[in-house]
Structure 1
Amino acid sequence: MPICQITLSANAGVALQLGGIRLWVDALHDKAVSGFSTLSPELQAAVAVHPDFAEPNLIFYTHCHPDHFSQRLTQLAIEQWPFAKAILPERQFENQLLLSRPREQLFLPELSVQFIRLPHEGEQYANVAHYGCLLDGSGFRVLIPGDCAVASPALREFLQESGPVDLALLDFPWIALSKGRRFIEQFIRPRCLAVYHLPFAADDIFGYRRAIFKAAEQVQVEDLRLFLEPLQRETFG
């Protein structure tokens, strides 16, 4: 069974290693949003020299909200790693791949990626260009729905077509809300579940961390892990 390694930058930013491919998802952002965490100058410096964030093959953003995306930091990364493919649902860079259709697919020698347009959580964000993805590396399947609306019918339809997943990376409201927990158990059915988009302790002004510890006890998943600390690394297989 392939091994999948995930390392957190901040918020919902990760470097994911699956087979010989390294994918960054929403990894670089630097604007503080109340109640959440971003990459401080110190964390930016740490990420810049961390081996898990070296030589990305793909740099993907689910959407371009400031708690997920920094144009400046991403431009610097593209200049540092010129062979990385930048993939976004908005035009930000000259040589990026632009997601625009309801479904898109990318094939690499050791990985296939399906991108799916999904509704962002919150009616006020209905017009936000937002995509999730499903990775398949040698049969190990990883679902990353981004800030998708919890229990979205569009995601349910996609999962009914695509089948079960080995690992799902989900924002914390998915396990905080009963409808999210039911959706996980009925439609995602992952062997492993990683929960993120949580603030670091110093930024947790709304008490999300304490609440999510309790909610995690109610989720019927074989392997559930919370991403809570900068540069936290977890391995799944």
Structure 2
Amino acid sequence: MEKRGWIVYISNAAILLQYRGVKVLIDGLYRDTSGYFSQLPDAVWESMQQGMGEIPNVDYLMFTHSHADHFYEPYVSKYLQKNAVKGYAAPFSSESLKGCTAIVFDSEKKAVLEEDVVCGYLDIRHLDPRFYHVTNRCYLIEMGEKRILFLGDADYQAEAYGALHGLEIDIAFVTPVFFNHEAGRKILQEMLHIRKIILYHLPFCQEDTMQMEKMARRDIARYAKEDQPIVIWNKTGQSLVF
């Protein structure tokens, strides 16, 4: 069986991972209600509803937190009506997920999903002080020999990342806001061992009214380390093979 993995960007913070036929969709059923971020492309959402194509019928759904730009209950309900899913993970409860099986994590906050596919998590508060009451779940997904970290909208609480100390992390998905903050960069560049950073959770270029890409490119030019490449994902279909 093919042992290579594949990661593809959909939009906003929506990411699809595939390894040995196992598909994981992270923050992929959302609808931005703030006006700051781009929506799921119409063609993608249409195929999801019909249960056809690559993105429908994923094995596992994962959500970092309950904000609508990461999790939109009506979309989750519609998706589960047409698509077969083995399990889900989320730091919150929702009526829309009651027809789906929750992934069971052990005392070390890990779960073996499939052969050579393991998911762990850290619950860290949301980075915006207005939303400190919102739990943001960071996922560390191991696929074969690769470790892939998704921070979602995690805050810069250095002590909260203790469980990741000493681990070699191959790829980390990080928001530009996190990397822009000195405390965030210290976590990424000094505390953790990360080989490659991908900045995500941006609107598409033509909809970037906040100029997040400009900020991200400026910060990369100023702060990137030679041994830790950083790229921006804000175009549907951007991908990598591991």
Q: TM-score range by the shorter chain?
A: 0.7 to 0.9
1:141 equivalent to 2:147? Answer yes
Say which SS state the counterpart of residue 64 (structure 2) adopts: coil
Conserved in 2, the CA contact under 8 Å of 1:62 and 1:88? yes
Q: How does 1:1-237 map to 2 (within 5 A)?
A: 3-39=4-40, 41-45=42-46, 51-92=53-94, 93-94=97-98, 95-97=100-102, 104-107=109-112, 108-150=114-156, 152-155=158-161, 157-160=162-165, 163-217=167-221, 218-220=223-225, 221-229=227-235, 231-237=236-242
Once the 2 structures are TM-superposed, how far is the Cα of residue 183 of structure 1 from its aligned partner?
Answer: 2.0
Say which SS state the counterpart of residue 115 (structure 1) adopts: strand
Larger mean Cα displacement after TM superposition, 77-86 or 62-71: 77-86
Distance 1:103 1:145 in 2: 18
Residue 151 of structure 2 aligns with an amino acid whose one-letter code is P
Residue 10 of structure 2 aligns with an amino acid whose one-letter code is S
Q: Structure 2 vs 1, CA of residues 182 and 23 (structure 1 numbering), >3 Å: closer, same or farther? A: same
Once the 2 structures are TM-superposed, how far is the Cα of residue 206 of structure 1 from its aligned partner?
Answer: 1.5
Counting matched residue pairs gives: 234
Conserved in 1, the CA contact under 8 Å of 2:195 and 2:229? yes
Distance 2:144 2:44 in 1: 33
Once the 2 structures are TM-superposed, how far is the Cα of residue 187 of structure 1 from its aligned partner?
Answer: 2.0
Once the 2 structures are TM-superposed, how far is the Cα of residue 35 of structure 1 from its aligned partner?
Answer: 2.1
Conserved in 2, the CA contact under 8 Å of 1:105 and 1:113? yes
Q: Structure 2 vs 1, CA of residues 122 and 103 (structure 1 numbering), >3 Å: closer, same or farther? A: farther
Residue 149 of structure 1 aligns with an amino acid whose one-letter code is D
Q: Structure 2 vs 1, CA of residues 188 and 18 (structure 1 numbering), >3 Å: closer, same or farther? A: farther
Residue 170 of structure 1 aligns with an amino acid whose one-letter code is V
Q: Structure 2 vs 1, CA of residues 102 and 65 (structure 1 numbering), >3 Å: closer, same or farther? A: farther
Once the 2 structures are TM-superposed, how far is the Cα of residue 127 of structure 1 from its aligned partner?
Answer: 1.6
Q: Structure 2 vs 1, CA of residues 21 and 101 (structure 1 numbering), >3 Å: closer, same or farther? A: closer
Say which SS state the counterpart of residue 135 (structure 2) adopts: coil
Larger mean Cα displacement after TM superposition, 131-140 or 73-82: 73-82
Conserved in 1, the CA contact under 8 Å of 2:9 and 2:237? yes
Q: Deviations over 1:58-100 (max 9, x none)?
A: 1010111011111111122222222331222222121341789
Say which SS state the counterpart of residue 109 (structure 2) adopts: strand
Residue 237 of structure 2 aligns with an amino acid whose one-letter code is Q
Conserved in 2, the CA contact under 8 Å of 1:101 and 1:117? no
Q: Structure 2 vs 1, CA of residues 202 and 182 (structure 1 numbering), >3 Å: closer, same or farther? A: same
Conserved in 1, the CA contact under 8 Å of 2:139 and 2:150? yes
Conserved in 2, the CA contact under 8 Å of 1:175 and 1:219? no
Larger mean Cα displacement after TM superposition, 90-99 or 23-32: 90-99
Larger mean Cα displacement after TM superposition, 46-55 or 77-86: 46-55
Q: Deviations over 1:122-164 (max 9, x none)?
A: 2221221321111112221111121101354202x1211x612
Q: Structure 2 vs 1, CA of residues 145 and 102 (structure 1 numbering), >3 Å: closer, same or farther? A: farther
Once the 2 structures are TM-superposed, how far is the Cα of residue 4 of structure 1 from its aligned partner?
Answer: 3.5
CA RMSD of aligned residues (A): 2.6
Larger mean Cα displacement after TM superposition, 74-83 or 8-17: 74-83
Percent identity, aligned pairs only?
Answer: 16
Larger mean Cα displacement after TM superposition, 209-218 or 3-12: 3-12
In structure 2, list runs of 5 or more residues that go unmatched. none
Taking structure 2 as the reference length, what is the TM-score of the superposition? 0.85
Taking structure 1 as the reference length, what is the TM-score of the superposition? 0.86
